[in-house]
Amino acid sequence: MSKTDFCTCNDFDCQFHHKHQSNECTACIAKNLNDHEVPACFWNKIGEETSTQTDYTFRKFAEKVMSCEK
């Protein structure tokens, strides 16, 4: 298993995608933490389609998680 086999992000055009970063997620995680956002792979894990997503904030993610648990 490689370091990024778990990644479900399909935004291959993103400069922070692990395919552009020597197969590491560090740049993606750092970018998201800096922007107070949750990476796409977390959204994908809860079944949220990210191709049209515009709000990746912690708050929006928490709202989505809570709505999934109902």
Mean pLDDT to the nearest integer, 56-63: 95
pLDDT at 51 over 70: yes
Q: Output the pTM of the full model.
A: 0.78
- pLDDT attached to residue 63: 94
CA pair distance 55, 18, nearest whole angstrom:
21
Supply 5's token pair: 């086999």
CA pair distance 2, 52, nearest whole angstrom:
28
